[in-house]
């Protein structure tokens, strides 16, 4: 028998992360409310820093990485110490992790409104911050894995598995999606272009949902739900199946974000099949969570913690049903680019992530502050008000999404688009945007109630926190010895499996276990990614597609900086209605110089891939100054700074050089005199604007660069005019290019 050891848990670090969760949660949600209101009332855009396109990334990054991120760390630091029967390996690394993470969030909050962005959703942060994230994450991982090594509990509980999978996968995702070439202190270009960039991005984007917002929260569920219910999880064996199936399945599902795009059809089929398969383990997990409460339902009536958990787990079930459904191509054809997606993520974010977090916070508060919760009534009120908030939010967005999706594709009896003006489909949604804002406000009110509760509970804390001594027997190597010199010789893998030895070992050994998880994730990723990169026929080259001119390139940088991709797609799908509305559908070969791709994921405004030549230059001049002047009822922000800010001519050469390094074939003139070329083109456009009756003196202004870019979009291949395309070839069921 091994000797007994004494130690104390480090709860101070958990307190820190818990408070940070709530603070950043409130900030992130308030920014969310602000952008929700901007869509209903565009005058709430304050250019240049606080327009929808710049604030929406701030909202998503804040709620994903600051709110959910800090919540995950609270859960990991609290439950791992207890499940492993040890203090964290290093207090110092824990503090570094905490302050480093908060500094990163602060840096995000500053740089995103400044327009410093990589232009890829949920991976907007520029390269210096990305490096900092990698460092902090590695420190966290070192501390976590070292803690596993010094544990005093042989079996690693399933929550720990979920944490391990999350930690290693997030590291992989972050590194590979953010590979980019710096073109300045806070400017970089993705090393991938077009289709491949899209593929990497949604491999990342979808798995961020999986390994930031799902697996760690499942770890949280498998620890805190049994704690709060006072009984073990319904079926531990089911939770093991839940784990392995999720790890093996999730990583494949990313391409479902790219149905009917220029992505090859096989890849999106793969994404669809695996997404549908995901439904099964997810519901297994939900049922496991809910049945943990069997015989304890009376507790749910009294305990706000359990209320949050029950509804949270139910939303997990709902979202994991809705998600696979939306990944079915024909459903996706309707739902994609609409508010249905927004409804889906908020069911998951507000219901699952948010409620699991609040349940955990209310459970932790009295334990971490070592006093009774200030008000259970207030917590219960929070629960109800937030639940009503979610329902209003989600129902409003479902209605908005389906309404707009159906309007886009509606033809009248003469065979013409019933709503040819995109704005008709926007204005119909405004009342629903107000309902959404109301639902969101209710949810935030609940969050603020939680803050009050925390503040008041904290005030009642003891002068000195008790830090009880814990005793546990040390874990020696005897169990491994056991396996090596056990009674029955491990004759072959099969025999060992039959004797339950082998698996005991790999679930007990963090290193082996981690390697297996990494293999699962990596193999799946490689299977997914390699073909898009190596099979040439996936991206057929189109001879007429040429690199952007230096001025157009800078205009594209403005497009990225302003976050136009948050409202505009650049991807015409091969549907009759889209071809009629926008022009010829998009081909993979058209994006080969797009570092990063800008396909977008939501059409709050119309698709812009065939914008080139659709409007006169002067139309754009008026439109950007005040969209309402050309498009009555538009909800697009006004961009007055495009007319006051000069193009920084001296950076243009750097940008062109960076692109050239990524393999974009610029000619000698562009490589030596990019700014001269840009000047000349700017002059041309400025003159054209004057000729068309517009204002003079714009040749140095940013608006000219942006117009150069917009007028170029989609013009490299011969485009049918929308009017002539009334009877396009029936391409609706395939993305393959002839």
Q: Return the range that interacts with another protein (CB under 8 A); candidates 34-42, 199-207, 225-233, 627-635.
A: 225-233
CB 570 within 8 A of CB 609: yes
Q: Whole-number minimum distance, CB 79 to another protein, in Å?
A: 7
- The pair of three-digit structure tokens given for residue 177, joined into one six-digit string: 């999606």
- If one asks whether residue 582 binds ligand HEC (CB under 6 A), the answer comes out as no
Element (H, E) at 459: helix 430-459
Residues in contact with another protein, counted by CB under 8 A, come to a total of 65
Tell me the chain's radius of gyration from C-alpha atoms: 27
DSSP secondary structure string for all residues of 177-193: HT-EEESSTT-EEESS-
Place of tokens 């001119």: 549
Can the peptide bond before residue 48 be classed as cis, meaning omega within 30 degrees of 0?
yes
- If one asks whether residue 373 binds another protein (CB under 8 A), the answer comes out as yes
Q: Whole-number minimum distance, CB 536 to another protein, in Å?
A: 12
- If one asks whether residue 228 binds another protein (CB under 8 A), the answer comes out as yes
Residues in contact with ligand HEC, counted by CB under 6 A, come to a total of 27
- If one asks whether residue 426 binds ligand HEC (CB under 6 A), the answer comes out as yes
Place of tokens 């679930």: 507
Out of 216, 637, 714, 728, the only residue in the binding site for ligand HEC (CB under 6 A) is 637
CA–CA–CA angle 325, 331, 337 (5° rounding): 105
Out of 18, 35, 36, 233, the only residue in the binding site for another protein (CB under 8 A) is 233
Out of 74, 207, 261, 631, the only residue in the binding site for ligand HEC (CB under 6 A) is 631
Residue 426 interaction partner, one of another protein, ligand HEC, none, beta carbon < 5-8 Å per kind: ligand HEC
Judged by beta carbon, residue 362 or residue 666, the one nearer another protein is: 362
- If one asks whether residue 61 binds ligand HEC (CB under 6 A), the answer comes out as no
Q: Which residues contact 43 (CB under 8 A, 6 or more apart)?
A: none
Q: Whole-number minimum distance, CB 237 to ligand HEC, in Å?
A: 49
Out of 605, 714, 722, 728, the only residue in the binding site for ligand HEC (CB under 6 A) is 605
CB 735 within 8 A of CB 268: yes
- If one asks whether residue 140 binds ligand HEC (CB under 6 A), the answer comes out as no
Q: How many CB atoms lie within 10 A of CB 2?
A: 12
Measured between its terminal Cα atoms, the distance across the chain in Å is 72
Out of 122, 191, 235, 490, the only residue in the binding site for another protein (CB under 8 A) is 235
Q: Whole-number minimum distance, CB 92 to another protein, in Å?
A: 23
Residue 286 interaction partner, one of ligand HEC, another protein, none, beta carbon < 5-8 Å per kind: none
CB 654 within 8 A of CB 189: no
Q: Whole-number minimum distance, CB 554 to ligand HEC, in Å?
A: 13
Judged by beta carbon, residue 276 or residue 690, the one nearer another protein is: 276
DSSP secondary structure string for all residues of 357-377: HHHHHHHHHHHHTTS--S-HH
By the 10 Å C-beta count (0-12 exposed, 13-18 middle, 19+ buried), 299 is classed as: middle
Pairing of strands 188-190, 470-473: unpaired
DSSP 257: G
CB 80 within 8 A of CB 220: no
Sign, CA torsion 136/139/141/144: negative
Q: Which residues contact 663 (CB under 8 A, 6 or more apart)?
A: none
CA–CA–CA angle 702, 704, 707 (5° rounding): 115
What is the pattern of x (binds another protein, CB under 8 A) and - over residues 489-528?
--------xxxx--xx---------------x--xx--xx
Out of 149, 155, 416, 632, the only residue in the binding site for another protein (CB under 8 A) is 155
- If one asks whether residue 52 binds ligand HEC (CB under 6 A), the answer comes out as yes
Out of 1, 330, 464, 468, the only residue in the binding site for another protein (CB under 8 A) is 468
Q: Whole-number minimum distance, CB 227 to another protein, in Å?
A: 6
Judged by beta carbon, residue 370 or residue 630, the one nearer another protein is: 370
- The pair of three-digit structure tokens given for residue 226, joined into one six-digit string: 């049994």
Judged by beta carbon, residue 266 or residue 434, the one nearer another protein is: 266
Residue 85 interaction partner, one of another protein, ligand HEC, none, beta carbon < 5-8 Å per kind: another protein
What is the pattern of x (binds ligand HEC, CB under 6 A) and - over residues 649-688?
----------------------------------------
- If one asks whether residue 223 binds another protein (CB under 8 A), the answer comes out as yes
CB 121 within 8 A of CB 100: no
Q: Whole-number minimum distance, CB 394 to another protein, in Å?
A: 29
Q: What is the 3-state secondary structure (H, E, C) of 601-651?
A: CECCCCCCCCCCCCCCHHHHHHHHHCHHHHCCCCCCCCCCHHHHCECCHHH
The greatest distance separating any two alpha carbons of the chain, rounded to the nearest whole angstrom, comes to 94
- If one asks whether residue 392 binds ligand HEC (CB under 6 A), the answer comes out as no
User: Quick check: helix, strand or coil at residue 468?
Assistant: coil
Judged by beta carbon, residue 69 or residue 637, the one nearer ligand HEC is: 637
Residue 214 interaction partner, one of ligand HEC, another protein, none, beta carbon < 5-8 Å per kind: none
Distances (CA, A) of 710 to 201, 348, 616, 642, 691: 23, 36, 11, 14, 19
Residue 701: beta bridge partners? Answer: 646
Q: Whole-number minimum distance, CB 20 to another protein, in Å?
A: 21
What is the pattern of x (binds another protein, CB under 8 A) and - over residues 655-694?
----------------------------------------
Out of 21, 261, 292, 634, the only residue in the binding site for ligand HEC (CB under 6 A) is 634
- Report the C-alpha gap between 563 and 116 in whole angstroms: 10
User: Please, what is the angle between helix 510-534 and helix 127-149, to 10°?
Assistant: 150
Length of the chain: 738
Residue 423 interaction partner, one of another protein, ligand HEC, none, beta carbon < 5-8 Å per kind: ligand HEC
Q: What is the 3-state secondary structure (H, E, C) of 72-104?
A: HHHHHHHHHHHHHCCCCCCHHHHHHHHHHHHHH
- If one asks whether residue 244 binds another protein (CB under 8 A), the answer comes out as yes
Distances (CA, A) of 119 to 125, 189, 554: 8, 9, 14
Residue 504 interaction partner, one of another protein, ligand HEC, none, beta carbon < 5-8 Å per kind: another protein
- The pair of three-digit structure tokens given for residue 412, joined into one six-digit string: 């009248």
CB 117 within 8 A of CB 56: no
293-332: which residues touch another protein (CB under 8 A)?
A: 303, 305
Out of 31, 394, 604, 659, the only residue in the binding site for ligand HEC (CB under 6 A) is 604
- If one asks whether residue 270 binds another protein (CB under 8 A), the answer comes out as yes
- If one asks whether residue 635 binds ligand HEC (CB under 6 A), the answer comes out as yes
Judged by beta carbon, residue 473 or residue 633, the one nearer ligand HEC is: 633
382-441: which residues touch another protein (CB under 8 A)?
A: none
Residue 710 interaction partner, one of ligand HEC, another protein, none, beta carbon < 5-8 Å per kind: ligand HEC
- The pair of three-digit structure tokens given for residue 35, joined into one six-digit string: 């952008």
Judged by beta carbon, residue 189 or residue 369, the one nearer another protein is: 369
- Report the C-alpha gap between 643 and 393 in whole angstroms: 37
Can the peptide bond before residue 732 be classed as cis, meaning omega within 30 degrees of 0?
no
Residue 637 interaction partner, one of another protein, ligand HEC, none, beta carbon < 5-8 Å per kind: ligand HEC
570-629: which residues touch another protein (CB under 8 A)?
A: none
Contact residues for another protein, defined by CB under 8 A: 9, 79, 82-83, 85, 153, 155, 157, 159, 222-223, 226-228, 230-233, 235-237, 239-241, 244-245, 248-249, 252, 264, 266-267, 269-270, 273-274, 277, 303, 305, 362-363, 366-368, 370-373, 466, 468, 470, 497-500, 503-504, 520, 523-524, 527-528, 531, 535, 538
Site residues (CB under 6 A) for ligand HEC?
Answer: 52-53, 422-423, 426, 559, 562, 564, 566-568, 604-606, 608, 611, 614-615, 627, 631, 634-637, 639, 706, 710
């Amino acid at each position: 028998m091994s000797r007994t050891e004494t130690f104390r848990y480090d709860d101070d670090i958990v307190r820190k992360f818990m408070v940070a969760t709530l603070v950043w949660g409130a900030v992130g949600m308030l920014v969310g409310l602000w952008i929700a209101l901007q869509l209903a009332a565009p005058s709430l855009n304050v250019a240049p820093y606080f327009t929808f396109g710049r604030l929406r990334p701030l909202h998503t990054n804040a709620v994903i990485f600051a709110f959910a991120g800090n919540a995950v760390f609270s859960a990991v630091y609290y439950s791992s110490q207890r499940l492993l029967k040890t203090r964290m390996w290093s207090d110092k690394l824990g503090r570094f992790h905490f302050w480093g993470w908060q500094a990163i969030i602060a840096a995000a909050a500053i740089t995103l409104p400044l327009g410093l962005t990589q232009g890829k959703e949920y991976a907007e942060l520029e390269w210096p911050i990305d490096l900092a994230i990698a460092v902090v994450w590695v420190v966290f991982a070192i501390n976590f894995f070292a803690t596993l090594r010094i544990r005093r509990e042989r079996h690693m509980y399933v929550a720990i598995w979920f944490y391990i999978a999350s930690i290693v996968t997030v590291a992989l995702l972050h590194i590979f999606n953010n590979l980019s070439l710096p073109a300045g202190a806070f400017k970089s270009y993705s090393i991938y272009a077009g289709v491949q960039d899209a593929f990497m991005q949604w491999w990342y984007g979808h798995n961020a949902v999986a390994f930031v917002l799902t697996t760690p929260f499942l770890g949280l569920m498998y620890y805190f739900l049994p704690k709060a219910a006072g009984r073990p999880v319904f079926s531990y064996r089911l939770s093991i199946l839940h784990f392995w199936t999720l790890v093996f399945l999730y990583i494949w599902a990313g391409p479902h974000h790219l149905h009917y795009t220029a992505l090859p059809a096989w890849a999106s089929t793969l994404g669809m099949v695996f997404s549908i398969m995901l439904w099964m383990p997810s519901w297994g997990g939900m049922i496991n969570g809910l049945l943990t409460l069997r015989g304890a339902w009376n507790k749910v009536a009294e305990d706000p913690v359990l209320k949050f958990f029950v509804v949270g787990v139910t939303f997990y079930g709902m979202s994991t049903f809705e998600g696979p459904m939306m990944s079915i191509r024909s459903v996706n054809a309707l739902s994609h680019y609409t508010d249905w997606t927004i409804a889906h993520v908020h069911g998951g974010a507000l219901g699952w992530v948010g409620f699991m977090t609040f349940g955990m916070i209310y459970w932790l508060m009295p334990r971490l502050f070592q006093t009774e919760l200030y008000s259970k009534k207030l917590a219960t009120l929070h629960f109800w008000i937030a639940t009503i908030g979610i329902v209003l939010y989600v129902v409003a967005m479902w209605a908005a999404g389906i309404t707009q999706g159906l309007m886009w594709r509606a033809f009248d009896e003469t065979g013409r688009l019933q709503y040819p003006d995109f704005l008709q489909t926007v204005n119909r949604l405004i009342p629903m945007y107000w309902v959404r804002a109301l639902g969101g406000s209710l949810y935030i009110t609940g969050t603020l109630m939680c803050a009050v509760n925390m503040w008041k509970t904290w005030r009642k804390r003891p002068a000195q926190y008790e830090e009880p001594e814990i005793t546990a027997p040390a874990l020696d190597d005897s169990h491994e010895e056991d396996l090596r010199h056990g009674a029955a010789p491990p004759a072959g893998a099969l025999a060992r499996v039959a004797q339950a030895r082998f698996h005991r070992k790999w679930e007990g050994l963090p290193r082996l276990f981690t390697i297996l998880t990494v293999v699962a994730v990596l193999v799946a990723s490689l299977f997914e990614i390699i073909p898009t990169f190596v099979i040439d026929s996936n991206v057929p080259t189109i001879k007429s597609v040429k690199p952007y001119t230096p001025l157009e390139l800078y205009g594209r940088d403005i497009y990225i900086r302003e976050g136009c991709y948050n409202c505009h797609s650049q991807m015409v799908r091969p549907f009759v209605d889209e071809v009629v509305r926008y022009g010829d559908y998009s081909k993979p070969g058209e994006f080969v110089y797009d570092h990063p791709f800008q396909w977008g994921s939501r059409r709050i405004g119309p698709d812009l891939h065939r914008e080139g030549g659709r409007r006169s230059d002067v139309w754009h001049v008026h439109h950007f100054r005040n969209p309402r002047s050309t498009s009555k009822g538009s909800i697009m922000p006004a961009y007055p700074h495009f007319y006051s800010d000069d193009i920084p001519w001296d950076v243009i050469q750097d940008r062109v050089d960076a692109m050239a390094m990524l393999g974009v074939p610029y000619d000698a003139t562009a490589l030596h005199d990019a700014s001269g070329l840009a000047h000349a083109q700017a002059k041309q456009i400025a003159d054209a604007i004057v000729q068309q009756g517009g204002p003079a003196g714009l040749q140095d202004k940013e608006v000219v660069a942006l117009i150069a870019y917009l007028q170029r979009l989609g013009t490299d291949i011969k485009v049918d005019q929308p009017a002539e395309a009334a009877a396009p070839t029936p391409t609706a069921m395939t993305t393959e290019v002839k």
